[in-house]
């Protein structure tokens, strides 16, 4: 029996990582965002799990756009940080947990989720920025092994919100049936509303984002009923990344305690959000 002790939803905007890497977090433009993170980071520092599972999307950095799996899992011993064109971030490579990966893979396939498998995978800002949001003082190593679960949010047709929530439920069952570790943290990443290109570039929708931030804790089933079209209309073409928050939420209990949430506009051209849930009974 392993236990998910917390769930963390966070945006993965690359400039949030760049601000940390360049020591700019105290500058006026960045200080409010990082001040908003503080209570969550303090709580997380007191609750380091044995292993973490991070639900994210690649942005054509680790995997070519010719191959876009709908759902995938990494089974590697370790994952290198991708070079996205400006040199790789000076953050640690990621240590994996192949035993737990294989357990999750087997369990998810048996549960009807035919996952693609990455035995080798470089992880981009979608992965490393959430790790930095969680644990800013990583130093030479992240605080525990981390397993990647990848979701297609970049090519039509993305999986539905309902399917992502169902994947999270299956993930929660798989974790509960694993004896190899004690405690697990799960991260759902991406969002909030943003659109990086096209006629609506710069689109941000605080009304929708606040609804989503509230409902992810209290009424995730409402969010799981959103269609792909509604998500893109309300949150922007890249705001559909929010479906990955539903994978995280599905792995938690029906009742969770919100430890902290934060919202800041803008980070880059994006609405940045964070929500941290204590999943312990």
Binding mask 50-89 for ligand DHB (x = CB under 6 A): ---------x------------------------------
The answer to the question of residue 270 lying near ligand DHB (CB under 6 A) is yes
Give the CA diameter of the chain.
50
The yes or no reply on residue 128 touching ligand DHB (CB under 6 A) is no
Give the Cα separation of 36 and 56 in Å (integer): 22
Q: Give the residue, chosen from 5, 12, 186, 271, that forms a contact with ligand DHB under the rule CB under 6 A.
A: 12
Q: Does 159 bind ligand DHB (CB under 6 A)?
A: no
Bridge partners (DSSP) listed for residue 186: 7, 53
**What string marks each residue from 217 to 256 as x (binds ligand DHB by CB under 6 A) or -?**
---------------------x--x---------------
Does residue 29 come out as left (phi exceeding 0), alpha (psi in the -120 to 50 range) or beta?
alpha
Residue whose token pair is 């209570």: 39
Q: Which of 12, 103, 194, 264 is catalytic?
A: 194
**Does a cis peptide bond (omega within 30 degrees of 0) precede residue 127?**
no
103 is catalytic: no
Distances (CA, A) of 30 to 54, 229, 241: 25, 32, 23
Contact between 187 and 6 (Cβ < 8 Å): no
Catalytic residue flag (residue 12)? no
Question: Among 29-37, 89-97, 163-171, 262-270, which window interacts with ligand DHB (CB under 6 A)?
Answer: 262-270
Task: List interacting residues with ligand DHB (CB under 6 A).
Answer: 12-15, 59, 190, 194, 196, 238, 241, 268-270
């Amino acid at each position: 029996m392993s236990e998910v002790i917390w769930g963390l939803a966070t945006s993965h905007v690359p400039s949030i990582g760049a601000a940390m890497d360049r020591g700019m977090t105290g500058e006026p433009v960045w200080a409010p965002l990082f001040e908003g993170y503080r209570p969550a980071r303090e709580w997380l520092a007191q609750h380091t799990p044995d292993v973490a599972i991070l639900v994210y999307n690649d942005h054509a950095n680790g995997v070519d756009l010719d191959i876009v799996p709908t759902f995938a899992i990494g089974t590697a011993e370790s994952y290198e940080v991708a070079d996205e064109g400006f040199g790789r971030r000076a953050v640690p490579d990621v240590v994996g947990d192949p035993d737990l990966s294989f357990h999750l893979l087997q369990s998810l396939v048996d549960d009807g989720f035919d996952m693609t498998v990455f035995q080798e995978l470089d992880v981009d800002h979608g992965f490393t920025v959430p790790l930095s949001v969680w644990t800013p003082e990583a130093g030479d190593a992240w605080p525990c092994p981390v397993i990647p679960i990848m979701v297609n949010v970049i090519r039509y047709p993305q999986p539905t919100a309902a399917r992502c929530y169902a994947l999270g439920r299956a993930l929660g069952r798989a974790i509960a049936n694993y004896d190899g570790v004690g405690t697990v943290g799960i991260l759902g990443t991406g969002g909030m509303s943003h659109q990086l290109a096209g006629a609506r570039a710069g689109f941000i929708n605080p009304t929708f984002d606040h609804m989503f931030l509230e409902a992810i804790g209290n009424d995730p089933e409402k969010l799981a009923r959103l269609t792909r079209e509604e998500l893109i209309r309300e949150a922007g073409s890249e705001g559909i990344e929010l479906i990955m928050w539903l994978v995280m939420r599905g792995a938690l209990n029906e009742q969770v305690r919100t430890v902290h949430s934060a919202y800041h506009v803008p980070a880059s051209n994006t609405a940045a959000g964070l929500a941290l849930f204590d999943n312990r009974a």
